[in-house]
Amino acid sequence: MAHQLLQASFLFSIGLICTAHSPIYQTKLEVCPVLKHEVDYIPHGTEFNLGNLRVYETNDVAPKRLLIGVHDIFGDTKNTRLFADFLGETYGFRVAMPDFYRGIPWDHAKWPPNMDEYSKWSNEVANYDTVVKFDIQNLIHYYHKNQSITEFGIFGFCWGGMVSSLASSDFPDIKVVGLVHPSSLTNKMAENIMAPTYIVPCKDDPDMMPFYEILKKKFGDNSGHRRYNDMCHGFATSMGNYSEPLIFQRVEQTIDILGNFFLRNLHDN
């Protein structure tokens, strides 16, 4: 029920207040524009279908350390695929990034959104409890049964950060979590997370130190927080202009932060 309340009022990122838990960490998107900057990039991986779910998988399928990548509300883009490719290739991971929206992401051009339209889309396409949770469950089952993978990491951007947090509380096979400019988080979620977690907020994201303090009580030094006060929410996805040197440098730094953190927490078995 808590998941449904959060999903129905998702909109940390667009200024709605969720009353299910307090506080909810709310991004101040008036600080930065919401623009589409899809990078000119040819992804290195391949796609496969798991039922009606399209999954992008990085090129090297040999590693047993598998990460699940969760996009933001603007969906599966070349930016997120580049992030997955670089993370996998640099640190020896196999990365699977499903298109949870099944080809129906929210359109950048509809920002700020009409609330009725957004709520309808969110409930039909992006609902964790009725759609996304089962996609993650099926993905874990697929890799466990067909590839003998028993431990997983998960990372997500914005909405994907919320999903990653919830998935960590639902699936014990997830052993490590990365949250990149996450949205819609609550302290209750931090209490429920079952795996070491690293969070990377930006200048228009809220102060996430209270969330981090809960993680530190649970995991000690095996948790992390890095705030970019020179980056806008969405810099690592299609809201980030990768052609700007500082933005791309921060993307690479984030890949390094998560890569090393994930290596520390996943066994190559």
Sign of CA dihedral 93, 222, 158, 10: positive
Tell me if residue 53 falls in helix, strand or coil.
strand
Predicted TM-score of the model (pTM): 0.91
Q: Beta strands 197-200 and 152-158: pairing type?
A: unpaired
What is residue 34's predicted lDDT score, i.e. its pLDDT?
73
- Integer angstrom CA distances of residue 243 from 39, 156, 236, 247, 250: 8, 22, 12, 8, 12
What is residue 269's predicted lDDT score, i.e. its pLDDT?
64
Q: In the chain, which residues have pLDDT < 70? A: 1-23, 26, 28-31, 269
Contact criterion met (CB below 8 Å) for 134 and 163: no
| Gap between the Cα atoms of 104 and 74, Å rounded | 9
Strands (E), 31-93: 46-50, 53-57, 66-70
What is residue 26's predicted lDDT score, i.e. its pLDDT?
65
| Gap between the Cα atoms of 38 and 238, Å rounded | 5
What is residue 267's predicted lDDT score, i.e. its pLDDT?
86
Q: Retrieve residue 3's tokens.
A: 């998941």
What is residue 111's predicted lDDT score, i.e. its pLDDT?
82
Q: pLDDT tens-digit profile of 25-40? A: 767 655 677 778 999 9
What is residue 78's predicted lDDT score, i.e. its pLDDT?
97
What is residue 163's predicted lDDT score, i.e. its pLDDT?
98
Give a three-class secondary structure readout of 147-196.
Answer: HCCCCEEEEEEEHHHHHHHHHHHHCCCEEEEEEEEECCCEHHHHHHCCCC
Q: pLDDT tens-digit profile of 177-217? A: 999 999 999 999 999 999 999 999 999 999 999 999 999 99
